[in-house]
Chain A
Amino acid sequence: MSIYPPDKIWWKPIDREEKIWLILSVIWLMFTFFLMPVLHVYGKQNPPELSYSVTAARYEDLANKFIQKYQVKDEQGNPVALNGVPVVHPEPGGDAYIIARAWSWEPVLELEKGKTYRIHLSSLDFQHGFSLYPLNMNIVAIPGQDYIMRIKPTSSGEFSILCNEYCGIGHHTMVGKLIVKE
């Protein structure tokens, strides 16, 4: 029994049943192992590869310049905002910035369907979690790191961004929006 000392010689060959199980396990593990690199090459949804270290001040500066340059204007030429958060229409195929801070996502990005964007994501204070609903896509936002996602929207409509990393007492109020136009 497993609570008493084993036989003097216990290094014995394993039986057929265990061998079959072991072989099946190794085949399955090989499959799941190769799945990851193969999907990195042929898959359409992979974790972003690129990140740079950046200070919060520098990132805020870059993002604010981006917002000023590309903020959407109405007929009168006034800048458009949604719930006080600027709506920004970046150059199709260009760079876009998202600021995560306690407890908001800024700006509201307005993207065009079928165009590929480089979306930068960083936090100015605590750790946050970028979670896109209803796609259920989740990326970590860390202060000090500019994380760059290459994203091509394939469906249009309104998407919500919520924070899924605890970032203080107002964590659950940290919701934002992302719009994809036809």
Chain B
Amino acid sequence: MAEQNFRTCSITGLKVHLPVERLIKANTLTALIFIAVGGAAALLAALTRWPAVHLLGPEWFYRILTAHGFDMLIVWIIFFEIAALYLGSAVLLGVRLAAPAVGWIAYILMLGGAVLVNIMVLAGKADVLFTSYPPLMAHPLFYLGVILFAVGALIGTILFFATLYMARKEKTYTHESFPLVTFGLFAAASISVTTLIHGAGIYIPTLLWSLGIIKNMDPSAYRLVWWGLGHSSQQLNVTAMISIWYLVGALSVGMKPINEKFCRTAFVLYILFINVASEHHLLVDPVFGSAHKIWNTGYIMHLAVLASMIHAIAVPAGIEVALRKKGYTKGLFEWFKMAPWGNPAFSATMFSIFIFGFLAGITGVTFGNAQINITAHNTWRITGHFHATVVGGTTLAFMGVTYYLLPLIFRRQVWAMPLAKIQPWIYGIGVAILSSSMMLAGAYGIPRRHWDIANFGGSPFAFAWDPTVYMWLGVFGIAALMAVLGGIIYVVVAFGTVFFGKKV
């Protein structure tokens, strides 16, 4: 391997393999484009669900909602995660990426799949929403697009493992253990493999069914396997997000894990137990008996929750210890007051931790209880919950780390820093209010994925909701505008930096 293919980062002292830098840039920029597309869809969907505006017609509402779900939950997040995997392996270990060409194949497959899905959805050939539950059927190319994307992501993940292996084999990484962030991303990548296997397991038969080769798709079996993809992919997001917390904690305040054993054990618990918990999506389904549901969602999921509880103390404690070491030791909270809140990466991470911990995690565990699930299943409580996890948690954490990727990988100073500084605050507060108002409206029974809760499209059985619902829907609308504004600032600052930022 040629030494001239590396540069040494002047800020972190890390050795950066140049081909991997190009791959990280491509994946990050593509993720940014898709968060812009998904964000535009979010705005349209939110303005429709806000009864005072009720913007789109039903056809376009369900279509846009399908695009919003796919572009945000899958495309934006996974492109960013692939970038994070390359960063966590090649850059953090200071080694070469095992096979950059394979990385480009993965990138092209993912991009092709994502574009194909978007075309099919916007052309009205796949009005099946994100879950694409049969017997609703989309155009075969929609399923093919999902499969191409998943295969690309799987190749990217395998490249991550291959890079770790090459680092050992070529003895370019000589330490006993990998850094914690790499270890966390290793956990995320492991979960990703089982997730993508579920994805192939369900979307390949569904593709064949849409082509008429398979005659029957059993809806219950589909739900079981699909949620092995649908939920596990969110667990993989959680694991990647926590790795990013450790990464930004280290870069922004010099945080050290309070105890490596403690943190790493938690990641192992995720690998072992998080996937099986997917069945809490089936708590009010027929087919499975209670004993099975209790075993799956009660016992096993709680071992994964234990892992989250470990990170819930380890991450804030690590930040506190690092700030106290800087001399902020007065009283209980001087460290908190004196933390670098003006650093957008740090403030985004803190918002991510708060929103994920208090709004997302607690509600998630609560809704996973079978008896409570009866009052929550498919209501807006669920939508509010996962906007707290995936938007307030994962997306915000990824936004935060972007403010480090820009100077360290793109080697440009963040452009319009004053805007960047307020971005996590606008976005974080917006998303926190957004997900809370969704959960509160959902507590009255407001269904998710519903075009017209006010008039039910003129159904003769239409009824009137408790009027409180409309207050929460109004709060939701305003919070959605705030979150979208935060999202626009993020995309503008990121692209502005790439094009106009001063070279580092």
Q: Which residues of A contact B297 (CB under 8 A)?
A: 36
**Known contacts A45-B371, A126-B133, A139-B374: A18-B313 contact under CB 8 Å:** yes
Q: Which residues of A contact B219 (CB under 8 A)?
A: 127, 142-144
A88 at the interface (CB under 8 A from B): no
B443 at the interface (CB under 8 A from A): yes
Interface residues of B in 60-105 (CB under 8 A from A): 62, 92
**Contact yes or no, B309 A176, CB < 8 A:** no
Q: Which residues of A contact B131 (CB under 8 A)?
A: 166
Question: B302 contacts which of A32, A131, A170 (Cβ < 8 Å)?
Answer: A32
A173 at the interface (CB under 8 A from B): yes
Instruction: Determine how close the nearest CB of chain A comes to the CB of B449; give it in whole angstroms.
Output: 5
Q: Which residues of B contact A14 (CB under 8 A)?
A: 259, 261-262
A164 vs B129: C-alpha distance when bound (angstroms): 13
**Known contacts A3-B247, A33-B299, A47-B374: A162-B456 contact under CB 8 Å:** yes
A26 at the interface (CB under 8 A from B): yes
B451 at the interface (CB under 8 A from A): yes
**Known contacts A2-B179, A11-B261, A47-B374: A140-B284 contact under CB 8 Å:** yes
Looking at chain B, what size class is its interface with the partner chain?
35 or more
**Contact yes or no, B285 A142, CB < 8 A:** yes
Interface residues of A in 13-51 (CB under 8 A from B): 14-15, 17-18, 21-22, 25-26, 29, 32-33, 35-37, 39-40, 43, 45-49, 51
A83 vs B127: C-alpha distance when bound (angstroms): 29
**Known contacts A126-B136, A145-B287: A138-B375 contact under CB 8 Å:** yes
**Contact yes or no, A138 B378, CB < 8 A:** yes
**Contact yes or no, A126 B374, CB < 8 A:** no
A180 at the interface (CB under 8 A from B): no
CB nearest neighbor in A for B127 = A169
**Contact yes or no, A4 B294, CB < 8 A:** no
**Known contacts A49-B290, A169-B59: A2-B256 contact under CB 8 Å:** yes
A170 vs B450: C-alpha distance when bound (angstroms): 10
Question: B135 contacts which of A83, A125, A172 (Cβ < 8 Å)?
Answer: A125
Contact flags (1/0) for B318-331 with A, using CB distance below 8 Å? 10000000000000
B496 at the interface (CB under 8 A from A): no
**Contact yes or no, A2 B255, CB < 8 A:** yes
**Contact yes or no, A36 B371, CB < 8 A:** yes
B298 at the interface (CB under 8 A from A): yes
A32 vs B369: C-alpha distance when bound (angstroms): 8
A26 vs B305: C-alpha distance when bound (angstroms): 10
**Contact yes or no, A51 B286, CB < 8 A:** yes
A145 vs B251: C-alpha distance when bound (angstroms): 53
Interface residues of A in 135-166 (CB under 8 A from B): 136-140, 142-147, 160, 162-166
Interface residues of B in 296-316 (CB under 8 A from A): 297-299, 302, 305-306, 309-310, 313-314
Question: B258 contacts which of A18, A133, A162 (Cβ < 8 Å)?
Answer: A18
Instruction: Determine how close the nearest CB of chain A comes to the CB of B70; give it in whole angstroms.
Output: 14
**Contact yes or no, A36 B370, CB < 8 A:** yes
A168 at the interface (CB under 8 A from B): yes
**Contact yes or no, B286 A140, CB < 8 A:** yes
B444 at the interface (CB under 8 A from A): yes
B176 at the interface (CB under 8 A from A): yes
Question: B461 contacts which of A49, A125, A137, A175 (Cβ < 8 Å)?
Answer: A175
A72 at the interface (CB under 8 A from B): no
Question: A172 contacts which of B176, B247, B378, B451 (Cβ < 8 Å)?
Answer: B451
**Contact yes or no, A47 B370, CB < 8 A:** yes
Contact flags (1/0) for B269-309 with A, using CB distance below 8 Å? 00000000000001111110110011001110010011001
**Contact yes or no, B258 A10, CB < 8 A:** no
Q: Which residues of A contact B204 (CB under 8 A)?
A: none
A134 at the interface (CB under 8 A from B): yes
CB nearest neighbor in B for A28 = B309
**Contact yes or no, B284 A2, CB < 8 A:** no
A176 vs B452: C-alpha distance when bound (angstroms): 15
B140 at the interface (CB under 8 A from A): no
**Known contacts A172-B450, A172-B457: A133-B463 contact under CB 8 Å:** yes
Instruction: Determine how close the nearest CB of chain A comes to the CB of B396; give it in whole angstroms.
Output: 19
**Contact yes or no, B255 A1, CB < 8 A:** yes
Question: B459 contacts which of A2, A11, A49, A173 (Cβ < 8 Å)?
Answer: A173
A160 vs B133: C-alpha distance when bound (angstroms): 25
Instruction: Determine how close the nearest CB of chain B comes to the CB of A128; give it in whole angstroms.
Output: 10
**Contact yes or no, B257 A2, CB < 8 A:** yes
A171 at the interface (CB under 8 A from B): yes
Instruction: Determine how close the nearest CB of chain B comes to the CB of A180; give it in whole angstroms.
Output: 15
**Contact yes or no, A12 B309, CB < 8 A:** no
A161 vs B219: C-alpha distance when bound (angstroms): 22
Q: Which residues of B contact A166 (CB under 8 A)?
A: 62, 128-129, 131, 133, 136, 449
A94 at the interface (CB under 8 A from B): no
**Contact yes or no, A139 B284, CB < 8 A:** yes
**Contact yes or no, B181 A2, CB < 8 A:** yes
A83 vs B255: C-alpha distance when bound (angstroms): 65
**Known contacts A2-B257, A162-B447: A129-B58 contact under CB 8 Å:** no
**Contact yes or no, A51 B287, CB < 8 A:** yes
Contact flags (1/0) for B143-182 with A, using CB distance below 8 Å? 0000000000000000000000000000000011111110
CB nearest neighbor in A for B65 = A166
A40 vs B369: C-alpha distance when bound (angstroms): 11
Q: Which residues of B contact A36 (CB under 8 A)?
A: 294, 297-298, 369-371
Question: Given A127-B133, A131-B447, A169-B58, 11 more contacts at CB 8 Å?
Answer: A3-B251, A5-B179, A12-B261, A29-B302, A32-B298, A43-B371, A129-B377, A138-B379, A139-B377, A142-B219, A171-B62
Please list the 3 inter-chain residue pairs (A to B) with the smallest Cβ-Cβ separation, ordered nearest first.
A51-B286, A164-B447, A10-B260
A-B contact pairs, 29 of them (CB 8 A): A2-B255, A2-B256, A2-B318, A3-B247, A5-B178, A6-B179, A10-B177, A12-B259, A32-B365, A36-B371, A40-B370, A46-B371, A48-B286, A126-B136, A127-B133, A131-B378, A131-B379, A133-B463, A138-B377, A138-B379, A140-B286, A142-B219, A144-B218, A146-B286, A162-B445, A162-B447, A166-B449, A171-B451, A175-B461
